[in-house]
Amino acid sequence: MDQSDQELDRLSALLHALPVENMPMTLSELDGYLGLCCTKPLMSEVPLSPDGFSPRPL
């Protein structure tokens, strides 16, 4: 296991250590969220209505 795998395992363990009532993200969900944050257009360019967003897969 290389260092990056160990770091991902550590991050996953930290996410799983959060209280369940806080609905913590999985590592995969965090990856998707951070990817969106890095690639999303400015809100002034493409408005996103709150009802068009689902925080969890349907």
pLDDT the model gives residue 40: 72
Q: How far is CA 22 from CA 1, 16, 17, 19, 36, in A?
A: 31, 11, 11, 6, 21
pLDDT the model gives residue 17: 94
pLDDT the model gives residue 12: 93
Q: How far is CA 34 from CA 2, 12, 28, 37, in A?
A: 23, 15, 10, 5
Q: What's the pTM value of the predicted model, to 2 decimals?
A: 0.58
Q: What is the pLDDT along the chain (58 residues), one digit of tens a residue?
A: 788 999 999 999 999 999 999 889 999 999 988 888 888 766 556 556 666 666 666 5
CA distance 2 to 52: 40
pLDDT the model gives residue 6: 93
